[in-house]
Structure 1
Amino acid sequence: MTKRRWQKHFISDVFSLKSESHTTFSKVVFKNPGLVKSKKKRIPKTLFKFYAPTSSNILDIRKKRLWISHPNSFNDPFDCHVGADYENYEKHSLLKHIDKTGFTEDLGGFTKKDYRRIADSKTGVFPHPLSKIEEYSSVISNILRKKSDDLVKEMDKVRISTNKEVSKKMDKIREANIRVASFANLQSNNYPPDRNDMERMIQMWAHYSDNHKGFCVEYDISSLEPGNILQTYDSKNGYESYSPEKNINLLILAGLFPIIYSSYRVNVPRTKLEKLTIDKDGNLINKMGIDEILYKAFITKSTKWSYEKEWRIILDGRICSYFNNKIPFPFIKHIYLGSRMKPEIIDDLIEIADELNVEITLMELNEKKFTLEHQNINSYKWDKEKLSWHNPLL
């Protein structure tokens, strides 16, 4: 497996073991826990997650749990949004229609030459002016310009119907009950992270922690190493014999991936879209391979986001629902407080850090450089105590 694309190989390996179209990623992993062995040495020791300073987020830290989001709530409309080549689907629908209705040599219908031009045209490309390759939309536009009004109306109906069909199928695909939790990987040997690490994260403090008013949690996930997970996992007894908390750790490891940054989105192939149908209850039929495509789409993002060094946990929605979309996540190692956090929230998180026996650090702006500094929490407590000396009520 290539170093850069091992994630897709792992996903393909899981879905290759599906025995039925309705078998989920989770059930395949439960039945084949040894699959996670291939992740040995690929999992980082720690991951970081940024939070807005909401009461819900703070309570989740106290309860040592992790919210798993549905992609519909993401700010980036491209994120987890699997694509499709609508024009390619339309092109082949038109060719099928012509095959069914036949050719005519007069200007009122399609000729064999028209058919060949449409078949040889390309979608999703912008050919060089000197290239012999023709772009589909230009070809069909030029051909129909010379045809009868009746034929143009007939083709418009086919094209409209085809695009509605694709849209309906894609909407159903995008409704898939798969949820995600995102993290940042500092890829550093410094724990806690040094100044250079945090410099790279300033944008994330602004984007994901309410402009530095929130906090960041460092999670030590070293216990999720495949050897640790499999050591006590007896596959002979089956996953039903274990607690939900034990099983969820296996699924977390199986669903944990670094993001692949690319200029291209993951698309559903036309051939798979053509086989898909929607029954009277709105369920997708013949969707073999669609879940695999979705999982790959969920770990692919634009290169513009590469600075985040993102990792994700991807879980089946039904698993998340069992935990009310907040899975047990007892891996908290360190809490970092934003430089603009309100004092009352600082006090709450200091109390929580004491309860959980984890480290806590207050971030502050460097006075000379565009960097963040670590302020020892004892210094904050001392400054707070000094303020009490000047209490005007005493």
Structure 2
Amino acid sequence: MSLPPVKLYKYIPPARVDILQNLAIRFTQPSALNDPFEFNLLFSEVLSTQQLREYYEQADKHKLAMEAIGRLPEDQKAMFALLPREQFLRMLEQFTSTIFNPEKIDNIHKSYVAPLTPKLKKVIYDGLNKTIGILSLSATPLSPPMWANYAENSTGFVLEFDTAHSFFNGRRSNKDEFYHLREVVYADRQPSATMMDMPFDTFVLKSKSWEYEKEWRMLLPLDAACKKFTTPCGDDVSLFNVPATSISKIIIGLNTKDHAISELIDILAKNGHFAHIKLEKIQKGSTGFELTKFKNE
């Protein structure tokens, strides 16, 4: 696992100055992100016919048969109970060889397993969408497309975060998907044959067309949000407390309006927790965006 850069950046539109005012930031559910393929489940089917055959070959067929008999109506179960043990075992052997032969397994796969794939994909995606919130950060504050797309055509600002802060380092175990920063993997992949063959980087996998974002992300469980509400347009929003000490710098956009700059300066001046935060501004360089120290004139 790659270590994150010392600093990561969040592009913010001017209207979201309330992030600083309230020290609360949104972790967004997959369906509300601008990439419609977020958490895309890349598998063609739940289980292949061969995998289903292998499962039945390794299964305790006697146990499976007994479980099937146990689900029969009481009068039919009573009939089995009247049979001599040897006769019952012979019937059980015939039953299992009839039920678990290759042709029957193929029919089970075709009739029950294959149709299950789209339904299972939807159930999993809906579950993830109700469970997981994502904070997307970038490794660069100097991306013109990012300023255009996420900071309202460079009229907003960028927050610089210190990745060494405990806010980004709360992982509870090596298998924990939450509370730590992870680098996004950019790759154009074909679907795996089955769900069992699918790689386990779905949470950080995006198409190479998004590679310019240089994204790192942190996932948090939505039920841990400090505040939840629904916007007038029906969008569910989950906010999480963000420590002032995790923010090290604010970068003002190339086209940020004077009143928005004044508002930022006023917020920093009124909150003693922001005394450490530096202010810089984007300017046009000879080949792209550059950073310069902000001068409040």
Match of 1:259 in 2: 184
Is the 8 Å Cα contact of residues 82 and 267 (structure 1) preserved in structure 2? no
**Letter in structure 2 aligned against 1:53:** P
Provide structure 1 residue ranges, at least 5 long, that are not aligned to the other structure.
1-5, 8-41, 102-114, 116-154, 187-196, 231-246, 273-289, 383-394
Preserved contact between residue 64 and residue 332 of structure 1 (Cα < 8 Å): no
Q: Which residue of 2 aligns with 1:351?
A: 266
Find the counterpart in structure 1 of residue 161 from structure 2: 219
Amino acid in structure 2 at the alignment position of 1:344: H
The list of structure 1 runs, each at least 4 consecutive aligned residues, that deviate by more than 3 angstroms after superposition, is: 88-98, 158-164, 251-254, 265-272, 373-377
Q: 1:302 to 1:310 in 2, by over 3 A?
A: same
| Aligned pairs (5 A) from 1:326-337 | 326-330=239-243, 331-337=246-252
Identity over aligned pairs, percent: 21
Q: Kindly indicate whether the alpha-carbon contact (under 8 Å) linking 1:48 and 1:219 is maintained by their aligned counterparts in 2.
A: yes
Matched, 1:100 2:25: no
**Contact 1:265–1:301 at 8 Å: present in 2 too?**
no
Note closer, same or farther for the CA distance 1:372–1:173 as it changes in structure 2 (3 Å cut).
same
Structure with greater strand share of residues: 2
RMSD, aligned CA: 3.8
What does 1:138-217 correspond to in 2, within 5 Å? 164-175=115-126, 176=128, 177-186=131-140, 198=142, 201-217=143-159
1:47–1:219 contact (8 Å) kept in structure 2: yes
1:68-79 matches, cutoff 5 A:
68-79=27-38
The structural deviation recorded for 1:48 is 0.5
Q: Deviations over 1:76-98 (max 9, x none)?
A: 11222222214x85877999998
The one-character-per-residue Cα deviations of 1:185-244 (angstroms, maximum 9, x if unpaired) are 24xxxxxxxxxx72xx12211121112122111012323399x979xxxxxxxxxxxxxx
* Structure 1 position 73, deviation (Å): 0.6
TM-score calculated relative to the size of structure 1 = 0.49
- Unaligned residue ranges in structure 2 (runs of 5+): 54-99, 229-237
Q: How many residues align?
A: 229
Deviation at 1:352, TM superposition (A): 1.8
Could you tell me which amino acid in structure 2 is paired with residue 377 of structure 1?
A: F
Choose the corresponding residue for 2:289, options 350, 353, 372. 372
**Distance in 2 of aligned mates of 1:265 and 1:317:** 30
1:160–1:211 CA distance, 2 compared to 1 (3 A): farther
- 1:318 aligns to what? 223
Aligned-partner residue type, residue 218 of structure 2: I
Structure 2 length normalisation: TM-score?
Answer: 0.63
